[in-house]
Amino acid sequence: MIKVMFWNVNGRGNEFCSTLYSLAQNVDILLLTESKIEDSEIKKNIGLEKVPYKSGFYETELTPRLYTKIPLTKIEHYSSAPSKRMVFYNLQTVEYGEIIIAGIHFPSKATYHGQTQLSLATTYSNWLYEIENQRKHTQTVLFGDFNMNPFEAGMIEPQAFNATLLYDVAKQGQRTFHFQKFYYFYNPMWNWLGDREYKSGTPKLPGSFYYKTTDDVTQIYWNVFDKVIIRPSIIDAIDYATIKIHEVIPVSTLIRQDFNKRPDNFTDHLPLTFNLKISI
């Protein structure tokens, strides 16, 4: 079993490492975005080493950074999107052979809206297809900050991420739209929408990102921007019971008990964890 964690840490630096450590100490793969934490601090505090980039690649402040406890003989950086906002790693597993671990930091709604995000999602999906064609398989796990809710066009349209909320539909592998086939993603994060537990009816965390404005008539306040989606070819590699968005960690309370964002702007995204049922 491999434990994976993602967190958009909102530009935090080394002072944030103890907070990160309290949650990530048992993590095998860590993906960070908007991080100013030094790699040496990650290694010292959490014991995770940054996976080195292929020769010639350079990162920007927008590039997701991947750290791991897995031997570097088993995981390597393969490629990155031209935007530097999506990175691809090859991971060797016992159960599936090679799988693609992809991290994403999709452009924000603060800059791009509606149709523009859909167009960008189509572009990012095409970049992913290129990598899968090069590797000659679609055993892909994609996770990170999508900056879109599960129901938005960029997540569900076939030319974009084509991520369905239905396990059985995703297992069909592909959908056909206007004589062209598109691979599905399965998106289990639909289950995080809403503020009540399905079975118990008790209040729960309504999402991973809180935003309130006075001039948007479509705002839903809490959003599920931080996600993991998976291709049908390895759909059972995720332990779905372990997917969790964390509102409280031992060092700090990220949000208040009424599920509103903390007034000190401690973080704008909440961390996501999940387990992969694989061995190395």
pLDDT, one tens digit for every residue, the chain (280 residues) = 999 999 999 888 888 888 888 888 899 999 999 999 999 999 998 999 999 999 888 899 999 999 999 999 999 999 999 999 999 999 999 999 999 999 999 999 888 778 999 999 999 999 999 999 999 999 999 999 999 999 999 999 999 999 999 999 999 999 988 889 999 999 999 999 988 888 888 888 888 888 776 667 777 888 999 999 999 999 999 999 999 998 755 435 555 555 566 666 566 788 999 999 999 9
**E strand segments, the chain:** 2-8, 29-33, 49-50, 65-68, 75-80, 86-93, 97-105, 140-145, 163-164, 174-177, 180-183, 185-186, 209-210, 222-223, 226-230, 238-245, 272-276
Q: Which residues pair with 142 in a beta bridge?
A: 102, 229
Q: Which residues pair with 31 in a beta bridge?
A: 6, 66
Delineate the domains of the chain, giving CATH numbers in brackets.
2-276 (3.60.10.10)
Cα separation, 15 vs 93, whole angstroms: 35
pTM confidence score: 0.93
